[in-house]
Structure 1
Amino acid sequence: MFSGIYNTGIVTFQFLMRFAAQFNPKARLWVEGRRNWANELTQKLAGNEAPIVWFHAASLGEFEQGRPVIEAFRAQYPDYKILVTFFSPSGYEVRKNYDGADYILYLPADTAENARRFIQIVKPQLAFFIKYEFWYNYLHALNTAHIPTISFSAIFRPDQLFFKPYGGFYRTMLRYFNHILVQNQESVGLLKRIGITNVTQAGDTRFDRVAEVAAARKEIPLAATFKNSHPLLVVGSAWPEDMAVLIPFLNTFDQPLKVIIAPHEIHDDEIERWRLQLTKPSVRYSEALADPSLIQPFTQSLIIDNIGMLSSLYQYGEFAYIGGAFKQGLHNILEAATFGMPLFFGPEYDKFQEAIDLLREGAAFPVGNVTELINSFSKQYSKPTKAALISRAYVQRNIGATAQVMEVVKQFMNERAKREKS
């Protein structure tokens, strides 16, 4: 019964996406990227005789979370080909040329027929699902084909359907995994309560990723010139809801402060609206790059109008505000935390373990309005060192989840080697 409802929902979702594709660019990418997927995949794999492992990520954030494992697998098992799939265009379109994988494509919609054909074409030796991805038909097809399936960096909460009295169908999905590596002890307990014990508390592989990114950070001379020894607030992945709080704050804050603002999405008209609302001078990155003289001592805000440099910009900051927690979902706060600084974000953070942890430890400060941001920031402005040390130490002590995932992988790979010899 529930599988029928689920499959009907998948078909309905596909119909709605095709309808939305007529006027929504992201929906159009979602639909077009899956057109003739079986033929495209068959052509890509033509002539390949190497075994394949499959990694699936919902979007860009989950891919970056899984990237340390992908690259560790590549290093330890170079004879395998790696296939990466994405659900969302925001992941695929950014990472479709990622050189750490041999094949990259959209995940076909989760129908029983698509799942069967996908597994039949790819013949993966091992499948990985990163964090939140639970697709019934794919998991069922993998289980039927006896393909070991691993979920890692997963995190569970009591309000999820898996743990409801009527959540039997969703619990079935979890039982299809051969091993689940979770971020925290609460997740271990929740899974144990419903009889799932093939679980390891390994932590979050994002810590490994942000440590790698920080170590490989790029120098951005224009940002250093703009900062010019002043205290600097880096605003990462800002949405309009965040700017509705930040702009009044910046207009009224009367202490020396430089601000770098990186929007979540680049829209020229939106950036210009923000500049008009800011009462203190601002400059766009592209303009200042073409003419560095536009950066004057009194220029308060540098607005980034490109994608890809945010993780390196944090190295110049004493403070960070991370966007998304008013509506869309809090973006990656660990990229900033690894450089050591007080962290500010909106009020909807309760689904993000790292935000809860850093709030508890005294390095993160959720704000719901302009007044709260002014009060919280003013307190940290005069003494940011304690929060900075806490946030940096938090990242450092949580590094190591990738190694634990690879230990589980090693067990499955050894079992496969034994079967091949027998």
Structure 2
Amino acid sequence: MTFTLEGMHAETAASDALAPVLEADFYRFQQTLTDTEQRALGRIRAFLDAEVRPFADDHWEQARSPRHLVPRIAELGLYANAFERTRHFDNSALFRGWVAMEISRADPSTATFIGVHSGLAMTAIAVGGSEEQRAEWMPKLAAGELIAAFGLTEPGHGSDTAKGLETTAERRGDHWVLNGAKRWIGNGAFADLVVIWARDVADDQVKGFLVRTPTPGFSATTIARKQSLRAVENADILLEDVIVAENDRLQRIGGFRDVAVVLRLTRADVAWQALGVAVGAYECAVAYAAHRVQFGKPIASYQLVQQKLADALAAITASTALCVRVSQLQDEGEQTDQQAAMAKAFVTARMREVVALAREICGGNGIQLGGHEQLGADIPPGYSVARYFADAEAVYTFEGTYDMNSLIVGRAITGIAAFV
């Protein structure tokens, strides 16, 4: 069943105003959304401004995921966003991209928490699961009754998981036995369900398994002392003779090519997330420059600061154009691997430039959480350029490094694979 704004949210939608266009949206790309989508975006933005951004610094400093927000996130439909069976909105990939940007603009860790659960794990089930598996798991995950993780990366394998995956799956009658290890698994420290990717010892093909975390032989250890996306509780996962029923094998996954479909569908979302990091940092810099007084006037009045802001805004604008177009192509059923890869590579590179410029504008206060507070100005909490600066490094790396995504594009240009 599909819930729509015209149905479940009809009364609310009728009274909602369109979401204001952000100052960072210099070419007004938000106006490519429908009025219904812009109203929904406004409600989501209001939730983020009230319940996420003000507390993001504390969660980051304490390395604690905002699990208390799970019911509210589910109520807003942010887990169910992309899936016909469970979604709350009649929406487009373009709208979903804007939502990913807005969440990351408020807090990149919260965006990653949601993205792992719904973008990776739920997409894996939607793409690779049988009808029975989708019916069993998707409504529970969409409602936030269960939290999911996505177990692909291993201690010794990141970019080369297509050929190097060491976690094994051995079929024994009506069940499978999994052995191996996973690393950097977002939500892995507290997830109820983990999608584990393992290589079948019989045919050497990668297969997907739905592993309930209380299963004997499954253990997860929180990765400590991170300096990026600290409010995402990543885990090292150990699988020691973990028994999984054949019914919990993703029935429509036949090899890594099918895993790549999941990654392609989520890679463009990561580009949008990177855009949100850049926008969040840029907004910090603009607010800081307007209130920080040096030599008797706000630093926003100095040419060099304005040049940095102009360069940052240009990078954001170019990145927005790429994100918008790649999502439009997805809506048209025309998006390719190389188009998603170009968006992820380009936007994350520009994100790095923007957060560096923003931190530079904020000077010494740019290395402190809550660095605006010493200004005594009426700036909302959560404007901490240091957090965006640090979080950008993880976003730059996951879902394919810059180099790997560039090589996907290079293969499309030349017809020659240069990965090894």
Q: Which has the larger radius of gyration?
A: 1
Interval of TM-score (by shorter of Structure 1 and Structure 2): under 0.3
Of the two structures, which has the highest relative contact order with CA contacts closer than 8 Å and spacing of 6 or more?
A: 2
Task: Give the TM-score of the pair, scaled to structure 1.
Answer: 0.24
Task: Give the TM-score of the pair, scaled to structure 2.
Answer: 0.24
